[in-house]
Amino acid sequence: MDKQAQLEKRNALLAAIRKVGGDPADLPFWEGCEAGVFLLHRCAKCERHYWPASRCVEHGDEAMHWVEASGRGRVYTYTVLHHAYTPATRDKVPFAIAVVQLEEGPFYHSTVLECAVDTVAVDLPVEAVMMPHESGLTLPLFRPGRVRPGRVRPGRVRPGA
Ligand SMILES: [Zn+2]
């Protein structure tokens, strides 16, 4: 991809982030999602992980950088939606929305898919799967965890994958 195309892609992603009320400081995270990688913001001094982009509670922003994370975690709490509040969810109900505590510590709110809603439970091991969304962002959704340590599998086929 040439520089101009990269710039246009970056600007489109920034526009999508703003459209959903997100923070442009999280751009690297969303670029990572597009590439099938779950990134977290980490302080190099104390190794604490954060999401979204943050200043370390102890060290401020002097040593913050984005690192590849496992994309794995456990359901901390969840709720099941039975009513379609938006047209986009009409064909998806019922579905579970969970607060996932990531292996690295931070919490991440997302949908749990690829399982019956009555099998979602507190402490269920889950792993992220990247799914393109109508907003233009690629979102990490979660499914019950499989024995596959390492990178997050993208939700679509990538060239060379
Ligand atoms: Zn720190």
CA gyration radius, the chain: 16
| Token pair in block for residue 97 | 């929305």
Residue 40 lies in a domain: yes
Name residue, tokens 């002097």. 62
Ligand 1 mean position, distance from CA 119 (Å): 37
DSSP code, position 15: H
Please, which residues bridge with residue 99 across strands? 77, 109
Ligand 1 mean position, distance from CA 73 (Å): 22
Residue 135 lies in a domain: yes
What integer pLDDT is reported at residue 88 of this predicted model? 81
CA–CA separation, 124 vs 3, rounded Å?
Answer: 43
Ligand 1 being an ion, which residues bring their Cβ within 5 A of it?
43, 45-46, 56, 58-59
Ligand 1 mean position, distance from CA 61 (Å): 8
114-125 per-position pLDDT tens digit: 999 999 999 999
What integer pLDDT is reported at residue 54 of this predicted model? 96
39-56 per-position pLDDT tens digit: 999 999 999 999 999 999
Q: Is the dihedral of CA 138, 140, 141, 144 positive or negative?
A: positive
pLDDT of residue 155 exceeding 80:
no
Whole-prediction pTM:
0.85
Residue 155 lies in a domain: no
Residue 160 lies in a domain: no
Cβ atoms of 94 and 82 closer than 8 Å? yes
**pLDDT tier, 89 (very low <50, low <70, confident <90, very high otherwise):** confident
Query: What is the residue range of 123's domain?
Result: 3-150
Residue 71 lies in a domain: yes
The total number of structural domains in the chain stands at: 1
Question: Counting beta carbons within 10 angstroms of the beta carbon of residue 29, is it exposed (0 to 12), middle (13 to 18) or buried (19 or more)?
Answer: buried
Residue 74 lies in a domain: yes
| Token pair in block for residue 145 | 């965890």
